[in-house]
Structure 1
Amino acid sequence: MTAHFGWNLRQLYVKNAFLHGVLQEEVYMSQPSGFSDPQHSDYVCKLHKSLYGLKQAPRAWNDRFTSFLPSLDFKTTHAYPSLFVKQFGSSVVLLLFYVDDIIITGNALSLINDVIVALTKEFDIKDLGPLHFFLGIQVISQNDGLVISQEKYVKDLITKTEMLDSKPCSTLCLPYNRLVLDDGKPYNNPALYRSVVGALQYLTFTRSDIAFAVHQVCQFMQTPMESHFSAVNRILRYLKGTVRLGIRYVQGGLEVNSDTVRAFSDADWAGDPNDRRSTTGFVIFLGSNPTSWFSKKQQIVSRSSTEAEYRALAATAAELDWIKQLLTFVHLDIPSSPFLYCDNMLAIALISNLVLHQRTKHIEVDIHFVCERVAKKQLHV
Structure 2
Amino acid sequence: MIITGNNNVLLDKLIDQLNRVFRMKDLGSIHYFLGVQVHHHEDGLFLNQEKYVTDLLITAGMQDCAPMITLLPLKLDKVPGQDKPFSDPSYFRSLAGKLQYLTLTRPDMQFAVNFICQKMHMPSQSNFALLKRILRYVKGTLAMGIGINANTDSTLICNSDSDWAGCKETRWSTGGLCTLLGSNVISWSAKRHDTVSKPSTEAEYRTMSAAASEIVWLQNLLRVMGLQQQRTPLLLCDNLSAVCLAENPMFHKRTKHFDVDFHYVR
TM-score scaled by structure 1? 0.63
3-state secondary structure, aligned to 1:227 = helix
Aligned to 1:35: none
2:33 to 110, 117, 134: 134
2: CA distance, partners of 1:355 / 1:329: 35
Q: Deviations over 1:106-145 (max 9, x none)?
A: xxxxxxxxxxxxx965615554321011111111110111
- Cα 1:178–1:254, aligned 2, differ >3 Å: closer, same or farther? farther
3-state secondary structure, aligned to 1:152 = helix
The residue type paired with residue 141 of structure 2 is: T
Q: How much does 1:178 deviate? A: 4.8
Runs (4 or more) in structure 1 with deviation over 4 Å come to 119-122
The residue type paired with residue 329 of structure 1 is: V
3-state secondary structure, aligned to 1:294 = strand
The answer to which structure, 1 or 2, has the higher relative contact order (CA under 8 A, 6+ apart) is: 2
2: CA distance, partners of 1:270 / 1:316: 19
1:188 to 63, 81, 87: 87
Aligned to 1:208: 107
Alignment of 1:294-305 (within 5 A): 294-305=189-200
2: CA distance, partners of 1:237 / 1:297: 25
The residue type paired with residue 191 of structure 2 is: K
Q: How much does 1:365 deviate? A: 2.2
3-state secondary structure, aligned to 1:273 = coil
- In structure 1, runs of 5+ residues without a counterpart are 1-118, 372-381
Q: How much does 1:370 deviate? A: 1.3
3-state secondary structure, aligned to 2:166 = coil
Aligned length: 248
Aligned to 2:233: 338
2:172 to 277, 295, 299: 277
2:60 to 161, 167, 184: 161
The residue type paired with residue 193 of structure 1 is: F
The residue type paired with residue 223 of structure 1 is: M
Is the CA contact (8 Å cut-off) linking 1:179 and 1:216 kept in structure 2? no
3-state secondary structure, aligned to 1:311 = helix
Alignment of 1:88-99 (within 5 A): none
Which one has a larger percent helix, Structure 1 or Structure 2? 2
Q: How much does 1:366 deviate? A: 3.3
In percent, how many aligned pairs have the same letter?
45
What RMSD over aligned residues (CA atoms) do the two structures have, in Å?
1.8
Q: Deviations over 1:29-60 (max 9, x none)?
A: xxxxxxxxxxxxxxxxxxxxxxxxxxxxxxxx
1:251 to 146, 150, 153: 150
1: CA distance, partners of 2:253 / 2:78: 34
Q: How much does 1:302 deviate? A: 0.2
- Cα 1:345–1:183, aligned 2, differ >3 Å: closer, same or farther? same
1: CA distance, partners of 2:77 / 2:258: 26
1: CA distance, partners of 2:82 / 2:29: 49
The residue type paired with residue 202 of structure 1 is: Y
1: CA distance, partners of 2:170 / 2:39: 43
Q: Deviations over 1:206-248 (max 9, x none)?
A: 0011111101110111111111001000000000000000011
Q: How much does 1:177 deviate? A: 2.2
Is the CA contact (8 Å cut-off) linking 2:110 and 2:190 kept in structure 1? yes
1:354 to 231, 249, 252: 249
Structure 1 residue 233 and structure 2 residue 142: aligned? no
- Cα 1:290–1:353, aligned 2, differ >3 Å: closer, same or farther? same
Alignment of 1:87-126 (within 5 A): 121=20, 123=22, 125-126=24-25
3-state secondary structure, aligned to 1:210 = helix
3-state secondary structure, aligned to 1:319 = helix
Alignment of 1:10-89 (within 5 A): none
Which one has a larger percent strand, Structure 1 or Structure 2? 1
3-state secondary structure, aligned to 1:220 = coil
- In structure 2, runs of 5+ residues without a counterpart are 1-17
- Cα 1:322–1:310, aligned 2, differ >3 Å: closer, same or farther? same
Q: Deviations over 1:75-96 (max 9, x none)?
A: xxxxxxxxxxxxxxxxxxxxxx
Is the CA contact (8 Å cut-off) linking 1:310 and 1:366 kept in structure 2? no
1:306 to 197, 201, 206: 201
Q: Deviations over 1:341-370 (max 9, x none)?
A: 111111111122222211111222234311
